Structure 1
Amino acid sequence: MKTKTAATVCDALPWAQQMRDAATPDALKADRFVSFHETSPGMLELSAGDTTLKLNSKNLQVTLQKAGHAFVLRTPDDAAARLRDGSEHIIKLTDAGSVAISTEQWAGIFGIRLSLSGFSVGGRSADLKVILFAGLDYATGDAVFELRPVEEDTALRLASWPGAFAGDDVDATIVPHTSGLMIPRNWPKVIDAPYADCGKIGLAYGLSLYMPWWGVTRGGKSAMLIFETPDDAGIQLYHSPENGTTVSPKWIHSLGKMNYTRRARLKLVDGNYVAMARTYRRIAQENGTFRSTADKIAELPRLARLIGSPIFHVTARQYNVRSGTDTLFIPYAELIEKFERIQRKFGLRKAYIHVDGIGYRGYDNLEPDQIPVGEKAGGKEGLKKFLAFARENDYIVVYHQQYRDMYLDAPSYNKELLLLREDGTHHIEDSWAGGANALVCTTRSLDYVRRNNTYLREIGAAPDGCYLDVFSAVSGDECYHHEHRMTRSDSFRLRRACFDYIRRNFGIVSSEEAADWTVRTLHLVHHTTWAVNPEYENFAIPLPLYALVYHDAMIVPFETGRRRGSYYYSKHDIPFLHALISAGMPYLSVDASAEDVEAAGIVAELHGRVALLEMTDHRQLSPDGRCQQAVYADGTVVTADQNSGDWSISYPGKTMRGNALNWSVETEWNN
């Protein structure tokens, strides 16, 4: 009997045998696999097997070609530089007075080095130097790009390298903007930097880019660009029906300067957006970003109680300082009564209960000094009785906590604790119930996390975990305060330290949105939304890109409403159908009706069956993308039509189907 050897990445490469035959270290040098030619003045070319990278050293346009399929990266966008006097100016990398061309190699990478200097900034000669690298990595078959700043008095503040894909010559652009968007070449509406958080730039790990990659697809072949240094990176997204979609990579300064080498990787992929998502999944598994829910359960067995459970989001109290009234208020004793009603009427074997507003003045007030427990909803004793009720029923209770906002009337408010912007000002807003707030520097956040939760443990009201608001929903913060300077990378590291404290000391840790960097740490995020415009219409075609990568690594609740529209969804979409396609954890109200419970039960059963399984495929069954189908690793197939409201779930052994708008459910058992 012959044994089958597992395939490797190398097996797919045309030079795999050459690698295996190498007899000396010299035989594995990159220049043994990648060749360099200057085909004409300024036209530089790298070749490795059936892959060719062409670089125009004059306009910095790049073409990557493999097996006859070519994708073009345009001339990079304008950059920005700041002189020593503080004045900032637009520059073009193509305007360098001097361009020195050479080659370099390391490991499996061989490429072209362009050393750009002689820039004129604001009409003055500047000492700025920028090194651009474009190479081929024979170990993976990818193209690798680096931007290396050499800054003295002149700082590079913003740059693009490489440029954007030529979006006018593709079938569609795929972006993990929120949960995921497909923008067809002929999409009829203009899209202009939706949800951007830095001018027109959407930073990585914010709503504009849950995961640090995007791509284009044409004729069953795709190209995807991946930020390998994403903390200070972002995109500028623009689409017009006339010219297609442009997604420009942006490298952002860190504490005033570019400061370090920025790197991106370009992969050519056989297939469409599903192939791109599966490619990124393998990268996340390789670099440790991916950590499965099964592994998290092995570390924290109680987490298994979330699989197939509904999630209840309740608020004990929210006080509005402007009106002087409680806008939300459910005492703990009343919460117990509401859960007992659900138990009596419907049964409730599992429950994950997220509680807002246990603090002194309730939800979104006085943070990060929200303790002690507020009296109005029942005080310490009322909260402890609610916890005792939950634990008698083996329900899980977690608390909302917030460690980014600092309200101006918080007892420990001190402007020296705040994030200081580069211009010497602070972010101040007056949007939430508790009134005006600033942002506390994340270097101080863990101290508040520890103090507040030590208090809760000391009074006998320790939760089963905590939801740390906002940390996973916004890109990294910077702080210019001389006593606690902080880069965006520092910010992510410090937020993770807060998550880890909760995980190690209390259990389940959750946050708001599904940023890629949180996957190896968080157990749950409260939503993976789809982008909608101010008229509550989808910007383009929603895709579950996040679920294709991380379905079995992050628990994500979904609304289960059967009418069109909600706070998080397009006015044309039915939330229940999104919950089915992504096989999420169902939200359920403490005031749920019988139909609400039935709908949540359908989603909970699906989640219970496939929460620990990969979404292996996704299909669009209609040209407008409104009818979609997801496939899971056990063969479960979910189909949902946002136009008609029809849905079906084909499990191994039975099929369920119905209509969300005209509520109906039927089950057929398979032989």
Structure 2
Amino acid sequence: MRYRMEADYVEVRLLADRLREAGNVSLPGSFVPSGETLELVLPIMQGMLWRGGGAPFDWRLGEGRHGGFAMPLVGYLSPSGGLLVTAETRDDLELRVGKDSTGRCWANYLQTQSLGTLRYDRVARIYVTEPDIVSLAKTYRSKIIAQGNFKGWEEKIAERPALERLFGSLMCFAGYCQDELDYAKECEKLRQFGFDRALIYPARFNTYNNDILMGGLPPIHMSRQTVEQIKRLGYDLAPWSWLNEALDDNSGFVERIYRKSPDGNRIPHWAIDDQKWYWACTTFMEAFQQQANAGAFSDMTWDHFDVITCAANNECYALDHPAHAGRPLSRTEDREWIKKLLAAGQAGTRAVSSEGFNDAYSKEYDLGSVKAFPMFNQWPFWPIPLTMLVYHDSMIHSWWEMHSYNNPYFGRINGNNMYEYGGGRARIQAAMDALMGCPPDVFPFGAQYMWTGKGQETFAYRYRFEDPEVQFALREALPVARLHRKIGKQEMIHFRILSEDGNVQETAFADGTTIVANFSASIRGDIPGHDPLLGESWRQAQ
């Protein structure tokens, strides 16, 4: 490793020609303060603060994914100083986080092999910061801006004026499955409730083969007439662009586009009942998406991709794919094809979202999902608004579609009992969205499928606008949407944990708007300088 002192940071370079056959290399390693306590700031979900609690564990986390890293950084905080480490080469990278039986904790990035060797130099940076979360976040923000890797809302909206409609919208998941509903009439109910903007998804499935069943039901398919009726309400609609994998339908087309492993085999991924999907190579997706947007999905006004920014970046060893004929495709090349796909999703004017918040694509897409519950009494990892301290004036961090305010079906506790994520907790989810300056998310009507817990067997469930849990969720969502209309394009400039137990937190935005949230179930009147705040609630302090 070669260390070089710059004005604002230390660069650490791993010289690949010296270690070409190495496996994983920690660059530069993990750090602890000398003689002081350590707090770790981790880019997991919306961001996590970890003070070392919990049982021993050793994680290797990939980019994106549910529980992977959203930004290639780690922060180390002590009472007297902060240290920020950034991975500057991130295409072949893992985040290692753990704790041993002695209580020693670590967090560091592992540079991994590309196409079987290290192949190219790897670079990291070390920055000294003030000892707080905001300083870590703003140091990273300044770095990416200086490198030209940041595109703010002002610039994005100048290129695609329709993005203005994102702010103040309800994220409205309508289920994967076709239901018996008149979707336009259901959307009229949302409008009457007070939502003058909404992001409705999915309207249809954009995939290689729609001849599938989920919980025994076909994919949702809103007619063009229905779509036009909903658009007249002022709402936006997106397809479900599911291109990262293809159903094995015995067709020559999907066989040709499958991603291949080093041994030449296709790579299994998703399964529903007896239907099986295999990874597709990204080099075919841009052209497919352009054709789809010009044809069957020309009436859509935004685009939502499945896991394309979450879990798709990988290698392909097929030698007969035209874009990498006779050679494997590296993750570095694969990333560029993903960027091309996201640009195709824009179709010149549209907002683009995807499962997974991943800042490798912050200039190409606009909304990324998956957040943890703000629960601080139970779990050692404390969610913090790290992604929005960096990107609030560039991207939206939404909930995973299965984690709407009213939908508790798909909750999970991390395997090592470090944090929890899910839906169906409208009040604390609304408080988190207000604190982060993000739009609310409700599943007000439609049909969805769910795993039964037996093999690959699934079943369908439904929500209706009139359901009590839907009505409750919409009431919690409406003021959050109105807040987002006001502050959604602004930089988040402040964050502070106000209570020792982590449950009371405060943020502020560029116009001075300050939000205080109480994530505990009890009224909190013990915060100096603040009026009592009801349990699981938020308040605009200014």
User: What is the TM-score of this pair, normalised by structure 1?
Assistant: 0.66
Q: Distance in 2 between matches of 1:666 and 1:218?
A: 31
CA drift at 1:397: 0.9
Asked whether 1:307 is paired with 2:159, we answer no
RMSD: 3.5
Residues 467 and 565 (structure 1), Cα distance of their counterparts in 2 relative to 1, 3 Å cut? closer
- Matching residue of 1:276: 136
Is the CA contact (8 Å cut-off) linking 1:614 and 1:633 kept in structure 2? yes
- Matching residue of 2:47: 180
- Matching residue of 2:292: 452
Is the CA contact (8 Å cut-off) linking 1:151 and 1:259 kept in structure 2? no
| Amino acid aligned to 2:316 | C
- Matching residue of 1:259: 119
Q: SS state of the match for residue 631, structure 1?
A: strand
Is the CA contact (8 Å cut-off) linking 2:374 and 2:382 kept in structure 1? no
State which of 329, 347, 351 in structure 2 corresponds to 1:486: 329
Residues 234 and 136 (structure 1), Cα distance of their counterparts in 2 relative to 1, 3 Å cut? same
Q: SS state of the match for residue 226, structure 1?
A: strand
Q: How does 1:202-351 map to 2 (within 5 A)?
A: 202-206=61-65, 207-240=67-100, 242-315=102-175, 317=177, 329-331=178-180, 334-344=182-192, 346-351=193-198
Is the CA contact (8 Å cut-off) linking 1:622 and 1:628 kept in structure 2? yes
| Amino acid aligned to 1:218 | S
CA drift at 1:506: 5.2
Residues 630 and 356 (structure 1), Cα distance of their counterparts in 2 relative to 1, 3 Å cut? same
- Matching residue of 2:457: none
Asked whether 1:642 is paired with 2:509, we answer no
CA drift at 1:520: 0.9
State which of 250, 275, 279 in structure 2 corresponds to 1:435: 275
Residues 647 and 399 (structure 1), Cα distance of their counterparts in 2 relative to 1, 3 Å cut? farther
Residues 539 and 585 (structure 1), Cα distance of their counterparts in 2 relative to 1, 3 Å cut? same
- Matching residue of 2:436: 582
Residues 492 and 539 (structure 1), Cα distance of their counterparts in 2 relative to 1, 3 Å cut? farther
State which of 200, 214, 231 in structure 2 corresponds to 1:391: 231
State which of 299, 305, 308 in structure 2 corresponds to 1:462: 299
Structure 2 alignment gaps of length 5 or more = 413-419, 446-464
Q: Distance in 2 between matches of 1:304 and 1:497?
A: 23
Residues 306 and 262 (structure 1), Cα distance of their counterparts in 2 relative to 1, 3 Å cut? same
Residues 535-559 of structure 1, C-alpha deviations (whole Å, 9 max, x = no match): x964511111111111111123346
Is the CA contact (8 Å cut-off) linking 1:176 and 1:211 kept in structure 2? yes
Number of aligned residue pairs: give it.
Answer: 491
Is the CA contact (8 Å cut-off) linking 1:179 and 1:542 kept in structure 2? yes
State which of 491, 500, 504 in structure 2 corresponds to 1:627: 504
Residues 646 and 503 (structure 1), Cα distance of their counterparts in 2 relative to 1, 3 Å cut? farther
Q: SS state of the match for residue 629, structure 1?
A: strand
CA drift at 1:451: 3.0
Asked whether 1:146 is paired with 2:13, we answer yes
Is the CA contact (8 Å cut-off) linking 2:42 and 2:73 kept in structure 1? yes
Is the CA contact (8 Å cut-off) linking 1:307 and 1:607 kept in structure 2? yes
Residues 320-378 of structure 1, C-alpha deviations (whole Å, 9 max, x = no match): xxxxxxxxx324x621221223334x24322211115546xxxxxxx423399x9x989
- Matching residue of 2:455: none
Residues 426 and 302 (structure 1), Cα distance of their counterparts in 2 relative to 1, 3 Å cut? same
Q: SS state of the match for residue 155, structure 1?
A: coil
Q: Distance in 2 between matches of 1:434 and 1:449?
A: 27
Residues 486 and 666 (structure 1), Cα distance of their counterparts in 2 relative to 1, 3 Å cut? closer
Is the CA contact (8 Å cut-off) linking 1:430 and 1:436 kept in structure 2? yes
| Amino acid aligned to 2:38 | D
- Matching residue of 1:353: 200
| Amino acid aligned to 2:261 | R
Is the CA contact (8 Å cut-off) linking 2:515 and 2:539 kept in structure 1? no
State which of 482, 485, 504 in structure 2 corresponds to 1:608: 485
| Amino acid aligned to 2:249 | D
CA drift at 1:499: 0.8
CA drift at 1:208: 2.4
Deviates more, 1:611-620 or 1:520-529: 520-529
| Amino acid aligned to 1:637 | T
- Matching residue of 2:260: 420
Q: Distance in 2 between matches of 1:166 and 1:406?
A: 46
Residues 371 and 525 (structure 1), Cα distance of their counterparts in 2 relative to 1, 3 Å cut? farther
Is the CA contact (8 Å cut-off) linking 1:406 and 1:413 kept in structure 2? no
Identity %: 20
Q: Distance in 2 between matches of 1:264 and 1:219?
A: 24
Residues 162 and 603 (structure 1), Cα distance of their counterparts in 2 relative to 1, 3 Å cut? same
Q: Distance in 2 between matches of 1:631 and 1:564?
A: 30
Residues 629-649 of structure 1, C-alpha deviations (whole Å, 9 max, x = no match): 11222222212222235599x
User: What is the TM-score of this pair, normalised by structure 2?
Assistant: 0.81
Residues 647 and 636 (structure 1), Cα distance of their counterparts in 2 relative to 1, 3 Å cut? farther
State which of 339, 352, 357 in structure 2 corresponds to 1:509: 352
Instruction: Identify the structure with bigger relative contact order (alpha carbons < 8 Å, sequence gap 6+).
Output: 2
Residues 161 and 554 (structure 1), Cα distance of their counterparts in 2 relative to 1, 3 Å cut? closer
Q: Distance in 2 between matches of 1:170 and 1:422?
A: 45
Larger Rg: 1
Residues 336 and 486 (structure 1), Cα distance of their counterparts in 2 relative to 1, 3 Å cut? same
Q: Distance in 1 between matches of 2:229 and 2:42?
A: 45
Structure 1 alignment gaps of length 5 or more = 1-131, 194-200, 318-328, 360-366, 649-654
Deviates more, 1:334-343 or 1:220-229: 334-343
- Matching residue of 1:545: 386
| Amino acid aligned to 2:162 | R
Q: Distance in 1 between matches of 2:39 and 2:266?
A: 40
Q: SS state of the match for residue 238, structure 2?
A: strand
Residues 166 and 220 (structure 1), Cα distance of their counterparts in 2 relative to 1, 3 Å cut? closer
Q: Distance in 1 between matches of 2:500 and 2:168?
A: 33
Residues 592-622 of structure 1, C-alpha deviations (whole Å, 9 max, x = no match): 6543332111111211111111111111122
Residues 414 and 313 (structure 1), Cα distance of their counterparts in 2 relative to 1, 3 Å cut? closer
Q: Distance in 1 between matches of 2:522 and 2:409?
A: 13
Q: How does 1:518-537 map to 2 (within 5 A)?
A: 518-529=361-372
Residues 397 and 136 (structure 1), Cα distance of their counterparts in 2 relative to 1, 3 Å cut? same
Residues 107-149 of structure 1, C-alpha deviations (whole Å, 9 max, x = no match): xxxxxxxxxxxxxxxxxxxxxxxxx201211x32x21111112
More strand by share: 1
Q: Distance in 2 between matches of 1:261 and 1:612?
A: 37
Residues 377 and 570 (structure 1), Cα distance of their counterparts in 2 relative to 1, 3 Å cut? closer
Residues 605 and 188 (structure 1), Cα distance of their counterparts in 2 relative to 1, 3 Å cut? same
Residues 651-671 of structure 1, C-alpha deviations (whole Å, 9 max, x = no match): xxxx9996465x8x9999x8x
